[in-house]
Structure formats: structure tokens, C-alpha cells
Amino acid sequence: MGDGDDSRFLNLWQEQSVAQLMSAFAKIPPPSATLRNKLDIVRAVEMALGTLCEPSEAQHTRRTDLDRADREVPNKGRVIVITQLQGESEILKLEKKLATTLNIVNKVASQDDKQIPLDEVEIVLIHASPGSKEISIAPTRRLYNSPLLAIEIHKVTSGYFLSEKLCQLVQTHYELAITTVTGIPMKEEQNANSSANYDVELLHPLAAHADFLKDKDGCKHDSSSYSKVTLKWCTPRTAPTQELQHCTAAHRITPVDINSRPSSCLTNFLLTGRAVMLELPRKSGQKLLSHMLASHGGEIYIHTLGTGRSALEDPPSISEGSGGRVTDYRITDFGLFMKEHLLIPYNTEPRTGQSHESKMSGGGCSNDNSCPTPLEMTETAIARSTLYWPLVISATAVYNVQSHLEPLLSIIVKPQITSEQVIECKKVILNLVSMEAKGTALALSSVAAVASGLGGGRFAKSGPRKEEHYRALWAELEQLLRLYCSTTEHEQVLDCLLECRRTEGHQAGTPGTGAPGQSTANCSGAGAGDISKNGVAVRSELKPVGSYSGDTSGTPSSPSDDQRPKRLRVAPDLLGKTSLLGLIKENQSRKPATSMWLGLNPETRKATLYQNLKEKQLQQQQQAIKEEQQIQQIQQQQQAAASVAAVIQQQQQQALLPLGHYLHVP
């Protein structure tokens, strides 16, 4: 505080309490009513800048640390000046004086080992004018010919408006926010039987309202430039330690008006160990607890509560999504499929010869590069396993009753099966025929429709009959067996199914349909690949296909129309025409090549890691060069400013020399 030569310090760096400041202000006498001299704040600003050149404890420790290679300590500061300006002309003169003063202070500090020159200074001028006198001064922010000095001007009416302005500046400079706690019940000081609701403003870091800054719905923001959020008081809790809260952050708080009665009552209440929940005001709906006030170790903190779902909770049950009914996908079956087809890394070897193990065992591949790699073998196995693999449960009937069709479903996908496995598959088919004859109901959902004629993949509202269930199951099972029919053993299983269901109606006792017992006997007594039918050997010559076209009458080995079993009509839109792996490859082929393996070399089949590493290193080098150039420019500007200050100081000294200095007395 000062006016010209009458400038003095009210406190030191160690004296930061409110009581010390109030005591220092009390010792200042009132201003004189007769003197009308203009205020001179340059001397006071010079003293403040000199104080900023004094190193703090952290700066002193870094400067004296011999283990550090870089011991340069940046020194930045801010000076807030509360004064009364006369107009724009005085502001321009004051800016020049402050710039000159800063250069002089930096020059003195550079010659003193106990001080650090200022790298950047921000001077905030607050023009406080009485309510009856208004001066047209526009709030501006200017840079005075150098990045070292920034001057910011504010104007405010004298009185309690000054404290509000200082509070705004504190929030801006230190990234703070104000939370107004409303609806605090307090007993009246005069009448203890009655109570009233009060509001208390709390100052804390802005990070406590990080969620509100993203979504401002329901928040009350003040018209000023600083952040202010209003939260409602909830019933306090007596034992907060017994109930843990999901807190995402905690920050210390301080009341804006520390001497007011509501602030004092709130702080004393929280220091007793009570916790207060704060809710976000809403016009409608359930209340949302967003913050909590509690004390720890004699300090009061505002805790930010997680308003969203915690990561420790169970994931939400998703019923509908962009891809349809998410719960309808065969997620469990896909997990088992991944476990059965576990991929492991392998060491690639040259394909020009056999390995040592294959030579010792007498097997292996020839030198004509016809030996498939493990990757090719894996792709072949996965492609065969997914020739028919419905993605959703509602599009399949077979995989809704897997318990009745095992082990047929697990055996039929294998490229080679044994005679014992053929017998097990036939037992499954015969068991299914027996279930149909007994009228056993299948556990099919109302949305699992595969066969045609069932409402386009959806059953009617009244629900399907058992015959329709079995018709859908037989149709899909036949298609599945035809897709995987690649060997004679596979054909035996398919022939057993066709023999058991050799008519289209497949109801017992209908014209053109044999008794179920006869079909069962024929299927169980079938030889290795032939089915006896009225003394005529019948075999359906089938080849592995990707999809069933529905007509193979042109096959040379196919029997005549009166001997060949009629095939069931299958809905073509509900059965897979390619494997699941094929669908994935087809989807990837539509994407641009850059979206798959970036940096993949088609010759070596290897991808280069960190492709953009050299570019990033080059960008970092260019950025470092730019920063060095900027630093050099700043240093040059500092040197130029120092030289100008030296010239100005020399001129001032010459102007003050006595007259006898210029006279030569003989």
C-alpha cells in the first residue's frame, strides 16, 4: 500500500491470515480531507514487483539443487492494484511508467543472486469510483510492447461491490467456482423456537463441477463470467462412515463470507463429524444427489458423487439396441465357439522343405509348397465349423433344442467321422422320431421359425402347433446335414434322416407314408452307406455344397423320381449360404485396405509397427526448433528492453547532476 514515497508493506509472505490483514488496515489513518494531490502508485508497484523477485521455498530448493541438470526457475507473478484513475490519458501514461519500472526491477534482480528476474507479469488495475462519479473507462486487456507485461483494467463501484469484484478475480485467476447451498435450516438468533432457511456460498476448485460444465441442464448459472452453481440442502446423516459413497473427487472449500452467521453455523456443524448431501434442483422427476459436504482432519471438503453408473456395478441389461434385440444373439454359443477354436502364435518356417520332426516321423509335406500353413488350416477349420451358424436364436430351431440333438451337432461338423460316431448320430435321429411319435413338445420360442409357411419366420399370435414345430426342426436339420455332407459317413447320417422323413407330410398314417416303425427299422439296420428300401439299394449321392439349391435331379448318380425321397421345402432367407468366417471376410473386403492391417507387407505377411513414428519425431523436432526460436526472440526483446532502460536511467542521472559538474574551475 502506498502513495508516492509513503509506501509500505501491510504483511509479509508468511503473514497470510485475515486477522493480521485486519490489524494492519486498522493502523492506517484516514486520508486527509484537505490535500488533493494525485495518487502515485508507481512506487508501490515497484515494491510489489521487487517482492515478486524474491524466490519462494520451492524456487530456492530448485535453484540450489546440484543434482538437477536444469536449474532454471521460471518466475511469474500478478499484481492487483486498487486505485482511482482519471481517464484514458492517465492510463496510457501509467502503462509506460509500469513498463519502465518492470525493466528496472528485472535489471536489478539479474545482478542479485538472491533474486530471480520476472519472466511474465500481469498487472490488474481496478478503478474504484464512487457511485456519484462515473468515468468512462473501458475494461480492456493489453500487452505493452512485450510478452513480459500484460495490463488488465477493471472498473467497479466503491463499497461492497469491490469485494464481489475481488471474488470474481480470485475465481478467474485460480480456476475456482462458487457453490450456493440453499435451504439450510437454522434457528433464529432472537427466537430459538423458530427457524428460517439461509443460503451459504462456498468457494472451491472448479473441478468439483466438471460434470456440470459438460451438461448444464438443471444448473443455475449466474449472469457473470464466473461459474456459480446452486445446490439444495438435504437431511444430514449422523453416521457417514457406515455408508460409503461413490465419490469421484474431493476438494477443500472455504466460505465466501467467513464472518457471517450462516457460514459460521455451517462450518461448525460440519466440523462435528456430520455429512450433508447436496441435491441438484430439478423441476420434475426424482432428486439427484450430486455432492456431499464432510470434514476430514479438521478440513471441510466437497465430494463430487458419481451420478452415473459405477464401474463396480453389474452391467445394465440391454434388451434393445441398434442391431436388434441384443438378448436374442447367441452370445453363450459364440463364447463356447471361441474356446473351441483358440488361436495360438506359431513360428513360421520356410516352406521349401520338411522340418526335422516331420522327417523323423516319416510324414510331412513335399517340397512343392503344397503344405498348408497353420493359418490356412485354421481358416479351413473355422470355415467348415461355421458353414451353418445362425447369429440369432429367433432364426433357428435346431439350436433351440441342442440338448436333444447332441452329440449329432458336435460330430457332423467334423471333416472325418468314424462308424461309431455315425451310429451315435443315427440314435439322435431315431430319438427325435420317437419324440414326435409320442407327441413330446419341443422347447421352441415363439419367434424361432425356420420352415416356410409359418408366417414368414414368425408364428401366429395363437401359437404354433407341435406338428409345425417338428416340421421346422426337420427342415433345418436336413439343411444342416446337407451343408456338412462331405464323406461317405456323413452321407449315411443324411440318408438315415431322409429315410425317416422320406415323405413331405411326415405324419404317421397319411397316404404315401410308411409306418414310423418301418422307417425306424430301415434307418437302424442301414449298412455302411446303403439304405434298404423294398429290396432296392438307394443312396443319395451328395457333394459338399455351400448352400442347398433344392434340386439335384441332374446328378448322374441320383435315383429316379419314384425312388428318390422327396426333399423338404426350406425357407432360403433363414438358412446360411456361406460360413460365418466367409461373412466376416466379405464384410472386410468391402472396407478400404487401410482399415485392416496398417503397414502390412503382402510379400512377407508382416506388419510394421509404429508407422508414423518418424513423422511424429520430425514434428517434435520442428516444434522444439520453433520453441527455441520463440525463446531467442523473447531473450532479444528482454535485452532490448534492458538496454532501453539503461539509456533511460542514464538520461535521468544526467538530468539530476549538479551544476558544478559542468563547470570547470581553474
* Domain CATH code at residue 294: 2.40.290
Residues 120 and 197 both lie in one domain: no
Name the residue with cell 506388419: 607
Contact 396, 448 (CB under 8 A): yes
Contact 121, 114 (CB under 8 A): no
Name the residue with cell 420317437: 434
Q: Are strands 176-187 and 228-233 parallel, antiparallel or unpaired?
A: parallel
Residues 151 and 212 both lie in one domain: no
Beta-bridge mates of residue 633: none
Residue 581 domain flag: no
Residues 187 and 292 both lie in one domain: yes
Contact 417, 487 (CB under 8 A): yes
Residue 659 domain flag: no
Residues 196 and 279 both lie in one domain: yes
Residues 410 and 513 both lie in one domain: yes
pLDDT digits (tens, 9 = 90+) for 104-124: 999 998 888 888 999 999 999
Residues 461 and 531 both lie in one domain: yes
Domains in the chain: how many in total?
A: 3
Residue 360 domain flag: no
Residues 400 and 451 both lie in one domain: yes
Look up residue 440 and give its three cell numbers: 413330446
Helix (H, G, I), strand (E, B) or coil at 143: strand
Other beta carbons within 10 angstroms of residue 495's beta carbon come to 24
Residue 319 domain flag: no
Residue 356 domain flag: no
> What is the predicted pLDDT for the residue at 425?
92
User: Mean pLDDT per segment of 10 residues, for the chain of length 666 residues?
Assistant: 68 79 81 66 88 87 76 86 84 88 90 88 88 71 74 86 88 90 81 78 89 55 61 72 73 90 90 88 75 90 80 58 64 86 72 47 51 82 86 83 88 91 92 88 60 41 69 88 90 90 51 41 45 32 34 38 41 48 72 58 72 81 88 85 83 62 48
Contact 448, 506 (CB under 8 A): no
Of 273, 305, 337, which residue sits at a domain end? 305
End-to-end CA distance of the chain: 50
Q: Are strands 288-296 and 276-280 parallel, antiparallel or unpaired?
A: antiparallel
Residues 301 and 214 both lie in one domain: yes
Residue 358 domain flag: no
Q: Torsions phi, psi of 41, nearest 5? A: -100, 0
Residue 615 domain flag: no
In terms of Cβ atoms closer than 10 Å to its own Cβ (0-12, 13-18, 19+), residue 420 is exposed
Residues 293 and 416 both lie in one domain: no
Q: Is the peptide bond before 139 cis (omega within 30 degrees of 0)?
A: no
Contact 250, 203 (CB under 8 A): no
Of 576, 608, 625, which residue sits at a domain end? 576
Contact 122, 81 (CB under 8 A): no
> What is the predicted pLDDT for the residue at 528?
35
Look up residue 355 and give its three cell numbers: 522340418
The whole domain housing 266 covers 176-305
Residues 129 and 209 both lie in one domain: no
Q: Torsions phi, psi of 548, nearest 5? A: -100, 120
Helix (H, G, I), strand (E, B) or coil at 212: helix
Contact 267, 261 (CB under 8 A): no
DSSP secondary structure string, 352-408?
TS--HHHHHHT-S--SSS-SPPHHHHHHHHHHHHTSS--SBGGG-SGGGSHHHHTTH
Residue 589 domain flag: no
Distance set, CA 382 to CA 163, 377, 389, 579 (Å): 74, 9, 11, 9
Of 286, 305, 324, which residue sits at a domain end? 305
Helix-then-strand count for the chain, H and E: 18, 18
Residues 407 and 519 both lie in one domain: yes
Residues 191 and 123 both lie in one domain: no
In terms of Cβ atoms closer than 10 Å to its own Cβ (0-12, 13-18, 19+), residue 481 is buried
pLDDT digits (tens, 9 = 90+) for 260-272: 889 999 999 999 8
Tell me how far apart the alpha carbons of residues 162 and 158 are, in angstroms, rounded to a whole number: 6
